[in-house]
Amino acid sequence: MLLQSLPMVFILAGLALYVVLGGADLGAGFWQLATVRRSNARDIRDYAHRSMGPVWETNHVWLIFVLTVFWTSYPKAFGSIMSTLAIPLFIALLGIMARGAAYALRAGATTPRESGRIDAMFALSSVLVPFALGTAIGAIATNRVPVGNAAGDMWSSWLNPTSIVIGVLAVATSAYLAAVYLAADAGHDQEHTLERSFRLRALGSGVAAGTTAIGAVFVLNADNHRLFHSLLSGRALPAVIVSSLAGLATLLLVYRRRYEPARYGASLAVAAIIAGWALSRWPTILPGLTVHEAAAGHDTLVCVVVAVLGGAVILFPALVLLFRLTLAGRFRDAEHIEVEERTVTRVGPNARPLARAAGACLIAGFGLLNIANATWAHAVGVACLIGFVGLGFCAIVLPALYREAATR
Amino acid sequence: MSALPFASAFPPVDQHYLLQARQMQALSFAVHIPLVAFGISFPVMVLFVEWLGHRRGDELYLTLARRWSKVMITLFAVGVITGTVLSFEMGLLWPNFTGTFGPVFGLGFAIEGFSFFLEAIFIGIYVYGWQRLSPRAHMLSGVPIVITGVTGSLLVIAVNAWMNHPGGFSLRNGKVVNVHPLRALLGNSYLWNELIHMYVAGYIVSGFIVAGCYAFCRLRGRWTRYERTALTIPLTIAALAAPVQMLVGDWVAREVAQEQPIKLAAIEGLYKTTRGASEHLLGWYSDNQMKGAIAIPHLLSILTDHSWNGRVQGLDTVPASQRPPVNVVHWAFQLMVGIGSLLALVSVIYLGVWIWRKRLPESPWFYRLLVVSGPLAVVALISGWVVTEVGRQPWVVYRVMPTAAAVTGAHGIPVGYGVLAFAYLVVAGGLLWVLRRLARAPLNLSAEPPNQLQAA
């Protein structure tokens, strides 16, 4: 049972990380939209863009992680969800495309008008993505996705009161997370005007997100009384309480300009909602399909668990490195590192023996790969051909470049 | 709807727009694949140039590496988008494929996800770390990009190789059982030829495209040491890789002949099983024969079987419903091989001039040829994938699951297809615009503004 559940725990953890980190990214886009006509709008937009620049792609990859682990471990549930919710998920996909494109395009913008237009695209898509994904979550939560190939209703599954209110909640939460993070970054950089702007936004959006969450509870009660009941009783209740307390505490911390703890408090509040949601339905994924029933076979699950844990061992140090560099502001100020002027006397490698060796590799590769039939011969042949490219490259490029450099 | 020999996750559906779903998937692949080619090979070139810069203490190389790294992250950002589309489409278009075989092949994508993750992390550190990290730390941050560029595509190609040559599971009482994902993905003999073929293609595509840009500069009269350096490095790699690709391609064709004889028969338009079969160039397949083709007697048998009278299986050995569309596969193959040969010819000219004259070619015609070589290489790359993928039809998992059984039951595929095609047009237009902007940024060799990427 543990083996069948573990990948779902990974998926939920990945989802929480996506909502917290990717959500903060999406929220940064929201603030670009929401600050069009203000005196320091330009600064706010640039700052939001700059803080997220180095980490944007990384935060986004959590979604890919969720998808791949999901379809490997719970294929039937994945197929059912993706086919019934094709429309909101396709809309989210378009939003992700537009965001990514805007991110890539901004590198080329030179005038305020150009970057303004790109920011508008970025911002609109940043609202679209969490909303669409939120409606999809709402559809699953209210059991509107049955098992089967597009077995649910293509429209009403995600266009219903609960889905819409969860979509709005996702947008508000993203905006809130982003404002808290950006206020923290601005405080760290001693950008006091920006810090004030983001602090106000954090407080405003925090209140808005909290109000939406409370509103959501009422909508849920009207739409699906059973889900309402399961959220507010038993296993899910502690998580709901943790989330509410963390949300309130974060507001207080932001108010008192204690941004670093606020960053974590906000994340906790959001992650706790996901935990509560999962606990309230456990072990059901879709109506009539439990985690255990949906799970793939033993070998696959073992491979997934080993791959995820092994991957995490490599991934987390790298992630920590990236966030430490980003949060420490290392990417913001260039310290000019002088190029060490060297007087190079060596002319470079002697091309002739390299070229001969390359030729020998090519002939050997041809014989082993194209004439011989044994598998081992093919392997050696491929190695020879790689050797041909490598040696040939050294034989041509290094002497050529060194000669050029000598005549500069 | 053909009856399945096994119980798929969901009962078959009647999807009116199967062809549109396939085209939508094909479009998404065609957009993504050239970016993968850059992901495989371009970081190696960037890192090599940076290494040269540090080693020789030469600002020119560092400037080149810095400018290339901006192109690299821009292409990566677009590759993230197009790759995301593909992973969504696995579920949006083919829920019964992932729903049934996810446990067999899905692991490849899950591990690829990690690889992609690391690539995203280090590409961020590398590009934003210019002049903020010590040279050694900066070089080191580039190494994972090179490694993950290899591992990521290795796993995705492993999945494709599995679809073409499935294994690592068995069917018992119509159920997929005994799933061994590692054996399915990595214990597959088909993986290696697809992998090598694609890697070499990666270097050819990015090499010719990058070289083509500087060839264009030369034709426009801009030809300093900067442009010469920036042309020599990618062109040399591509010129060495292009002839190698012909040898690798021959190997791949023999593997296809052995494992997917119907695909080979479609490539050649060979209807009847033949001994001493001829190779057909050009031509059009209709009424079960090749018309108007140039036939080279016995060549097909020699190439696939290494014998004068080797037997080559024809399309007639399977029912008509199990044959791929012959002309698409045949012409995609002609295009790939034709362009590949042309690129090999360009390469031989370049290498010949180097060996005999010890300099770059001087004829403007050579540079005009180079300018078109890049786009042609992309056409060849996509054609090659058309051969693999259309040649596998009508199966999504070769001889196990028909594509028609994998498709979604959702409505509105044509709408999605149209919207996605439009979105790709916008993204492609935007990408060209950015790359032009990056290329036009003034080349200031002594003091590149440090924050150019962000403070655009």
User: Hey, where are the domains in chain B?
Assistant: 227-410
Q: Is A359 on the interface with B (CB under 8 A)?
A: no
- Other CB atoms within a 10 A radius of the CB of residue B181 amount to 28
Structural contact between residues B204 and B238, judged by C-beta atoms closer than 8 angstroms: yes
Here the tokens at position B132 are 């903020």
Q: How confident is the model at residue B232 (pLDDT cuts 50, 70, 90)?
A: very high
Task: Flag whether pLDDT at B4 surpasses 80.
Answer: no
Q: Which helix (H) or strand (E) holds A281?
A: helix A259-281
Dist CA B299 CA B297 (whole Å): 6
Asked if the model's pLDDT at residue B199 lies above 90, the reply is: yes
SS3 A235: coil
With a cut of 60, say whether residue B2 has pLDDT above it: no
- A 40-59 residues inside an 8 A Cβ radius of B: 46, 49-50, 53-58
Read off the pLDDT band of B455 (50, 70, 90): very low
For B376, residues 6+ apart whose C-beta sits below 8 A from its C-beta are B208, B339, B342, B343
Higher confidence at residue A55 or residue B107?
B107
What's the confidence (pLDDT) of residue B422? Answer: 94
Does B9 or B436 have the greater pLDDT score?
A: B436
Q: Is the pLDDT of residue B53 over 50?
A: yes
Residues B321/B393, Cβ–Cβ less than 8 Å: no
ipTM score of complex: 0.89
Quick one: which H or E segment has residue B170?
strand B170-172
**B292 lies within 8 A of chain A by CB:** no
pLDDT of B200 > 50? The answer is yes
Task: Please report the pLDDT score of residue B16 as a whole number.
Answer: 85
A289 forms beta bridges with: A286
Q: A222-247 pLDDT, tens per residue?
A: 887 777 787 777 778 888 899 889 99
Instruction: Point out the residue among B11, B91, B110 whose CB comes nearest to the CB of A307.
Output: B110
pLDDT digits (tens, 9 = 90+) for B410-434: 888 999 999 999 999 999 999 999 8
Residues B329, B268: contact at Cβ < 8 Å? no
So what's the pLDDT on residue B294? Answer: 87
Above 90 in pLDDT, residue B390? Answer: yes
- The verdict on a CB contact (< 8 Å) between A299 and B179 is yes
Asked if the Cβ–Cβ distance from B106 to A300 is below 8 Å, we say: yes
Low-confidence ranges of chain A (pLDDT < 70): 34-42, 45, 49-57, 327-348, 407-408
Give, as one character, the DSSP assignment of residue B296. Answer: E
Q: Tell me what pLDDT residue B173 has.
A: 75
Phi, psi of B284 (to 5 degrees): -140, 135
User: In chain A, whose CA is at the least distance from the CA of B88?
Assistant: A93
Residue B450, pLDDT above cutoff 50: no
Question: Coil, helix or strand for B280?
Answer: strand
> Any bridge partners for residue B395, and if so which?
B402
Q: CA A60 → CA A127, B417, B453, distances in Å? A: 15, 24, 20
- Alpha-carbon distance values, A170 to A223, A276, B426 (Å): 18, 15, 27
User: Per the CB < 8 Å rule, is B10 touching A81?
Assistant: no
**pLDDT of the residue at A184:** 85
> Which residues on chain A are in Cβ contact (under 8 Å) with B192?
378-379, 382
Tell me what the mean pLDDT of segment B203-228 comes to: 93
Q: Which value, to the nearest 10 degrees, does the dihedral of the CA atoms of residues A222, A224, A227, A229 take?
A: 40
Whether the CB of A110 is below 8 Å from some CB of chain B: the reply is: yes
Q: Which residues of B touch A86 (CB under 8 A)?
A: 92, 408, 410, 412, 416
Among chain A residues, CA nearest to B12: A149
Residues of chain A in contact with residue B62, where contact means CB-CB under 8 angstroms, are 339
* Residues of A in Cβ contact (< 8 Å) with B110: 65, 68-69, 72, 304, 307-308
Contact B423 A50 (CB under 8 A): no
Q: Give the A window 154-173 contacts with B, CB below 8 Å.
A: 154
Residue B4, chain A, CB below 8 Å: the answer is no
Residue A242: the pLDDT is 92
A256–chain B nearest CA distance, Å:
31
Is B311 buried (19+), middle (13-18) or exposed (0-12) by CB count in 10 A?
middle
Q: What is the pLDDT of residues B328-359, one digit of tens each?
A: 999 999 999 999 999 999 999 999 998 888 88
- Torsion angle of C-alpha atoms A234, A240, A242, A245, degrees rounded to 10: -130
- pLDDT band of residue B447 (cuts 50, 70, 90) is very low
How far apart are alpha carbons A135 and A161 in whole angstroms? 9
CB contact under 8 A, A101 and B430: yes
pLDDT score of A136? 94
- For residue A188, the number of C-alpha atoms closer than 13 Å in the C-beta half-sphere is 18
The 3-state DSSP class for residue B244 equals: helix
B232:A78 CB<8 A: no
> In this model, does residue B22 exceed pLDDT 90?
yes
Do A92 and A128 touch, CB atoms closer than 8 A?
A: yes
- The string of DSSP codes covering A143-208 is T---SSTT-S-TTTTTSSHHHHHHHHHHHHHHHHHHHHHHHHHHHHTT-HHHHHHHHHHHHHHHHH
Residue B1 clears pLDDT 60, i.e. is over it:
no
pLDDT score of B266 more than 60:
yes
Please indicate whether, in this complex, the C-beta atoms of B438 and A64 are within 8 angstroms of each other: no
A68 touches chain B (CB under 8 A): yes
Residues B321, B327, B330, B335, Cα dihedral to 10°: -150
- Residue A181 pLDDT: 86
High-pLDDT (> 90) share of chain A, %: 32
Please, which residues 273-292 of chain A have a Cβ atom closer than 8 Å to chain B? none
Residue B456 has pLDDT above 60, yes or no: no
- Cβ contacts of B336 within 8 Å, gap of 6 or more: B380, B383, B384, B387
pLDDT classification of B448: cutoffs 50, 70, 90: very low
Rounded Cα gap, residues B84 and A16, in angstroms: 19
Instruction: Determine the pLDDT at residue A318.
Output: 87
What's the pTM value of the predicted model, to 2 decimals? 0.90
CA distance B117 to chain A (A): 6
Residue located via tokens 């690129």:
B343
Measured in residues, chain B has a length of 456
- Calculate mean pLDDT across residues B157-169: 91
